[in-house]
Amino acid sequence: MTCKDLDLLLPLRAAGALAPDEATHVEAHLARCPTCRAEADADAAVLALAKLPPPTEAERRATAGIANGALAALRRGDRRRRTFQRVAAGIAVAAAALLAVLAPAVLRRTPTIPPAAAVTWQEPDLDTVWEDAGLLDIEVTAAAATTSDETSDESDAEIASIDL
Partner 1 sequence: MDDEGDRPTLRVVAGGVTPQRREEEALVAAFLVGDDEAFGELVRRHEPLVLAIVRRYAQTPEDARDLAQRTFLRAFEAARRSLRRGPRAALPFRRWLVRVAVNLAKNHRRDALRVLRAPLEDAEAEHAGVTEATAAESLLHKERELRLRAAVLLLPRRQREVLTLRLDAELPFAEIADALGITENSAKVSFHHATRALRAAFALEDRP
The answer to the question of residue 97 lying near partner 1 (CB under 8 A) is no
The answer to the question of residue 90 lying near partner 1 (CB under 8 A) is no
Nearest Cα to Cα of residue 47 among 4, 16, 7, 92: 16
The answer to the question of residue 5 lying near partner 1 (CB under 8 A) is no
Cα–Cα distance between 11 and 48 in angstroms, integer?
Answer: 11
Residues 47, 15: contact at Cβ < 8 Å? Answer: yes
To partner 1, the closest distance from the beta carbon of 11 in angstroms equals 4
The answer to the question of residue 2 lying near partner 1 (CB under 8 A) is no
Dihedral sign for Cα atoms in the order 147, 153, 156, 162: negative
- Rank residues 66 and 118 by Cβ distance to partner 1 and give the closer one: 66
The answer to the question of residue 61 lying near partner 1 (CB under 8 A) is yes
The answer to the question of residue 28 lying near partner 1 (CB under 8 A) is no
The answer to the question of residue 8 lying near partner 1 (CB under 8 A) is yes
SS3 track for 17-66? CCCHHHHHHHHHHHHHCHHHHHHHHHHHHHHHHHCCCCCCHHHHHHCCCH
| Contacts to partner 1 by CB under 8 A | 7-8, 11-12, 14-15, 17, 38-39, 42-43, 45-47, 49-52, 55-56, 58-59, 61-63, 65-71, 73-74, 77
